[in-house]
Amino acid sequence: MADTQYILPNDIGVSSLDCREAFRLLSPTERLYAHHLSRAAWYGGLAVLLQTSPEAPYIYALLSRLFRAQDPDQLRQHALAEGLTEEEYQAFLVYAAGVYSNMGNYKSFGDTKFVPNLPKEKLERVILGSKAAQQQPEVRELWQICGELMFSLEPRLRHLGLGDEGVTTYFSGNCTMEDAKLAQDFLDSQNLSAYNTRLFKVVDQEGKSHYEVRLASVLNTDPALDSELTSKLKSCEFQGSHFRVTRGDYAPILQKVVEHLEKAKTYAANSHQEQMLAQYVESFTQGSIEAHKRGSRFWIQDKGPIVESYIGFIESYRDPFGSRGEFEGFVAMVNKAMSAKFERLVASAEQLLKELPWPPAFEKDKFLTPDFTSLDVLTFAGSGIPAGINIPNYDDLRQTEGFKNVSLGNVLAVAYATKREKLTFLEEEDKDLYIRWKGPSFDVQVGLHELLGHGSGKLFVQDEKGAFNFDQDTVTNPETGEQIQSWYRSGETWDSKFSTIASSYEECRAESVGLYLCLNPQVLEIFGFEGADAEDVIYVNWLNMVRAGLLALEFYTPEAANWRQAHMQARFVILRVLLEAGEGLVTVTPTTGSDGRPDARVHLDRSKIRSVGKPALERFLRRLQVLKSTGDVVAGRALYEGYAAVTDAPPECFLTLRDTVLLRKESRKLIVQPNTRLEGAEVQLVEYEASAAGLIRSFCERFPEDGPELEEVLTQLATADARFWRDQVKETPAGQS
């Protein structure tokens, strides 16, 4: 059997998203709007398979054909007849549910590969003897293509990464970090965003590199209809290499997205939504990020909608270089009670921003009051579901146009619920308090993290005309007392400049803001906490962050000395900062558990949170913001990577503690989402049981009209590009061509 790092356990938590009441309250028109947006999101989410690993589209197609021919209960009878035990069949169901939930065979949270927890030979018997294999010859072909890779734990295939450190389909298999940096310089020179691109490299016989930058779009070789792309779809020389900008990536999938966005327009509640959708259609059709930005402007202006949504190439966490966005689409409905609390937080935001530990010049010239709503998710397509979101991610829009914050209430209710018997690394006397206050404290942390974490801070920019957005003569660096020495030039963004650490650094800044401002009595009163309750919320919020910093070690890879998950790296850094504060504020003590195996306990001295923890966090936060504002990459990397380093130096001995964390780890829950079904002129909500089988059924019924066609499209797209990973993925059979 495989190392437990690389399997999903049979007892993995599975929860269903409950949005029944919020959906019931929608009008018929709002339901139709939500339905077509959901269809667009689900279709677009299939692109994630092509963004993850070479084999992911084939695995998805194989599983879908298998379970369409025989549902999980029917297939179970066949599997047991083939000699599988109940535990082995359950392991297969959990694996399949994991592939659907993560949109691929790598965990969305940690980027680690997971494999079926049963013998390959037994699974092969089940698949080749299934009704699907008897009826469809392509099922056998799919198994021949992906069977070995499904189980392979060859070192390079264990994690997503670039070059020798892992596999990624954002880049061809021969690309290195140097190629990624060169490509970013090229994109900057052309004023092109990397968000909707992939990079493919071919080396000719003379040793010259030829790069294809491929944009995601419906259109391929057709002439661009808008001037902003006409001049950019071209071939040219750049720094001794040849670059060609093309488009048409994921074309058939994006065509489906566009069709449903057009249908959703019919049911839009206002002109902002209509114009937003029109620009999204333009973006996905042409491959234009500028059009997506225009759509995002209309989205920002659409204040307080009943049905909220966002869609596109959004988060760059899984790009090893940190610039390319994974496709994501969500549709949700407003939870009015919690949203009222967030509205009060927004109303206090300008005053609270003044509490942050950096000079006014390092804050935006004007706080752009955002929407902040608590939403019940109907649909979240992509590789995983977050607890909260602050979007759009475009720096220029966030600085001048604004943003929106959303807290996903029904996700928080199920994904972060904790059972006492599964609580690890806490003192016994903390566990009951932790269970009682974790949810409420997390509401506070998510609110502060999204609104005042991601929503705060100014980037110092020199535009294309040479004008600065700060006064060079009067603004000084509070760390050095000197005038500002660095800033962002035209075309540079936070992601492009800080690249591989950008996402984690920003998550760390936002988490630190949340911890810092949760000490403010006004914030706690907004959420309904005063007196002893408020003190408990503060304590559990800080305790949760300290514990999360220890749990984060699961996502560190010692062999490559790198982190696989931005949020968890950020939490480890905060743990290091609080440990460094000393005076017994935080301690991590190795122990032996009741089972005789290694264990550990984290302790937070609640009496020292304000006197020791707050000053330490204040100094750290100021440095983070100053280095971000000034675009000081060298100092920023030195600071952040210094805290993120994992060694076995005493007293904590983090590398040894990592072994304990892996021994005691609990797998992230799988979440079952409903479907919407159009019956005549009405939209029905279809819900599923909270189990691996229920999650599988939800996907089998997700594309009732064109499931087989979509699987054919996915495998054709994967096969067309398979040559780019053939040398890297050695175990791929020769038949994959």
Residues classed as catalytic: 450
SS3 307: strand
CB neighbour list of residue 362: distance below 8 Å, 6 or more residues apart? 457, 458, 478, 625, 626, 629
Is the separation of the CB atoms in 732 and 152 below 8 Å?
no
The structure tokens listed for 139 are: 């099922």
Going by C-alpha positions, the residue among 255, 298, 1, 13 that lies closest to residue 120 is 1
Neighbours of 188 (CB within 10 A): 18
Instruction: Match 């988060």 to its residue by tokens.
Output: 315
Is the separation of the CB atoms in 91 and 117 below 8 Å?
yes
Going by C-alpha positions, the residue among 449, 441, 315, 418 that lies closest to residue 669 is 418
DSSP code for 601:
E
The 3-class SS string of 145-191 reads HHHHHHHCCCHHHCEECCHHHCECCCECCCCCHHHHHHHHHHHHHCC
SS3 672: strand
The whole-angstrom separation of Cα 414 and Cα 35 is 23
Backbone angles phi and psi of 181, in degrees to 5: -65, -40
Neighbours of 425 (CB within 10 A): 21
The 3-class SS string of 309-376 reads EEEEEEECCCCCCCCCCEEEEEEEEECHHHHHHHHHHHHCHHHHHCCCCCCHHHCCCCCCCCEEEEEE
The whole-angstrom separation of Cα 198 and Cα 324 is 8
SS3 632: coil
The whole-angstrom separation of Cα 90 and Cα 543 is 35
The whole-angstrom separation of Cα 556 and Cα 546 is 16
What's the half-sphere exposure (Cβ side, CA atoms, 13 Å) at 89?
19
Backbone angles phi and psi of 487, in degrees to 5: -165, -175
The whole-angstrom separation of Cα 699 and Cα 694 is 9
The whole-angstrom separation of Cα 707 and Cα 699 is 10
Using CA atoms, how far residue 508 sits from 13, 360, 567, 635, in Å, is 27, 21, 7, 16
Is the previous residue joined to 72 through a cis bond, with omega within 30 degrees of 0?
no
Instruction: Match 């000393």 to its residue by tokens.
Output: 582
Going by C-alpha positions, the residue among 193, 206, 8 that lies closest to residue 118 is 8
Is the separation of the CB atoms in 407 and 353 below 8 Å?
no
Is the separation of the CB atoms in 621 and 603 below 8 Å?
no
Using CA atoms, how far residue 380 sits from 43, 134, 160, 234, 723, in Å, is 11, 34, 22, 35, 32
Using CA atoms, how far residue 123 sits from 95, 115, 120, 135, 343, in Å, is 12, 12, 5, 18, 52
Burial class of residue 515 in the structure, from the number of CB atoms within 10 Å of its CB (0-12 exposed, 13-18 middle, 19+ buried): buried
